[in-house]
Amino acid sequence: MFIETKELTKQFGGLAAVKNVDFAIEKGKINAIIGPNGAGKSTFFNLVSGSYRPTSGQVFYKGENITNLPSNKIAKLGVSRTFQTTNLFEQATVLDNVIVGHRLRTQSNLLDAVLRTKRYKREEKQCRDKAMEVLDFTGLTHITDQLAGSITQEEKKRVAFALALATDPEVVFLDEPAAGINPGETEGLAELMKKMVKKGITVCLIEHKMQMVMKLAEKIMVLNYGEKIAEGTADEVMSNKKVIKAYLGGDASA
């Protein structure tokens, strides 16, 4: 198994934001997590990527138990993510935002930086090259020198993708990448995700736009009130009674 969660649970006070979720993310595919607002999707991401500690349960990555690793160590293993709200550094250029994304693959320290050692120069170039490469991959070469604060919403999403890709990930978690952008642009992002998979990167996304999910995802998990209520292909999930109930506003937790 590539990434697997076992009885993953996160409790916020009395509220179980994620409850006993068993889920496997399949390598080389586009996986998706859907569910109504507040279902626990982002929390699930935060648990897998190490931003939150689970209350109970485990997360395995390529057979290794990563449940209690901090987020930076999980990133080093090849797990990357974007956030629901993009938090780029708006006063810096797009390129500057992305360069630091490759920092985790470099070794040079402060002394190297002050003395500008050979190692430092090589790694600086390595980070710059990587940034240019992922900016090219995400279709942003024309705006590398613009301030991140001055670009469009869709471009910001792409920069967030680029930043995640600069870490050389094996899997990326995308939290509502298409939120707040128009249908044409959504199409473009969907293409980008397919391109990522083609490059060998596993994708797991959270999305509200059903059409996009149904078209893209090969494996879907549906969360509702923190619990997994269905899992499978688009068709399987869509014909599931619990899912229909949850989405039509019925009380699915009954």
Partner 1 sequence: MGPLQKKHLIITGLIILAGIFPFINQNDYWLHILTLSFIWMIAVYGLNLLAGYTGYLSLAHAGFFAIGAYSLGLLTVKAGINYWAALVLSCVITSVIGFLIGLISLRTREHFFAIYTLCVGYVIYLVIDKWDSLTGGVRGLIGIPAPSNIGPLSFESTLSQYYLVLFFLLATIFVMYRIVHSLSGRTFIAIRNSEELAGTIGISTMKNKLVVFVLSTFFAGLAGALYASFIRFIGPDIGYTTVIFDLLTYLLVGGIGTLAGPVVGTMLIVSVSQSLQFLQDYRMLIFGPLLTLIIIFYPRGIVGFFSDWYRKRQSTKLQSQKKKQVKSNMDDEDLHEDRVKEG
Ligand X SMILES: Nc1ncnc2c1ncn2[C@@H]1O[C@H](COP(=O)(O)OP(=O)(O)OP(=O)(O)O)[C@@H](O)[C@H]1O
Which parts of this chain interact with ligand X (CB under 6 A)?
12, 15, 17, 35, 37-43, 84
Locate all alpha helices (DSSP H) within 108-240, ordered by sequence: 110-115, 118-137, 153-166, 183-198, 210-216, 234-238
Helices 183-198 and 153-166: angle between axes, nearest 10 degrees? 10
CB distance 126 to 134 below 8 Å: no
Task: Report the residue number, 55 or 106, with the smaller CB distance to partner 1.
Answer: 106
Contact pick of 167, 186, 202, 224 for partner 1 (by CB under 8 A): 167
> Rule CB under 8 A: is residue 87 a binding residue for partner 1?
yes
- Residue from the set 120, 137, 161, 225 that interacts with partner 1 by CB under 8 A: 120
Is 149 a binder of partner 1 (CB under 8 A)? no
- CB-wise, 173 or 225, nearer to partner 1? 173
- Please give the distance of CA 240 from its chain centroid, rounded to a whole number: 26
* 151 is a contact residue toward partner 1 (CB under 8 A): no
Q: How many other C-beta atoms lie within 10 A of the C-beta of residue 70?
A: 11
Q: The sheet that has 227-232: what strands, in order across it? A: 79-81, 171-175, 202-206, 30-34, 219-224, 227-232
Q: What's the min distance (Å) between Cβ of 225 and ligand X?
A: 9
Q: Least distance to partner 1 from the beta carbon of 110, Å?
A: 5
Q: With beta carbons less than 8 A apart as the criterion, state whether 36 and 13 touch.
A: no
Q: Coil, helix or strand for 254? A: coil
Measured from the CB of residue 126, what is the shortest distance to ligand X in angstroms? 35
- Residue 42 binds Mg ion (CB under 5 A): yes
Q: Is 74 or 213 the residue whose CB approaches partner 1 more closely?
A: 74
Handedness of CA 96, 97, 98, 100 (dihedral sign): positive
Residues from 62 through 81 that contact partner 1 (CB under 8 A): 70-72, 75-76, 80-81
Pick one of partner 1, ligand X, Mg ion, none as the site partner of residue 113 (Cβ within 5 to 8 A by kind): partner 1
Minimum distance, C-beta of residue 70 to partner 1, in the bound complex (Å)? 7
81's contact among Mg ion, ligand X, partner 1, none, with CB below 5 to 8 A by partner kind, is: partner 1
Contact between 23 and partner 1 per CB under 8 A: no
Which residues are CB-contacts of 183 (< 8 A; sequence separation ≥ 6)? none
89 lines the binding site for partner 1 (CB under 8 A): yes
Q: Which whole-number Å values give the CA distances from 96 to 46, 81, 162, 172, 199, in the listed order?
A: 25, 19, 12, 21, 24
* Minimum distance from residue 195 beta carbon to ligand X (Å): 25
d(CA 62, CA 72): 17
d(CA 94, CA 109): 24
The site for partner 1 (CB under 8 A) is made up of 49-51, 70-72, 75-76, 80-81, 83, 87-89, 92, 96, 99-101, 103-106, 108-110, 113-114, 116, 120, 123-124, 127, 163-164, 166-167
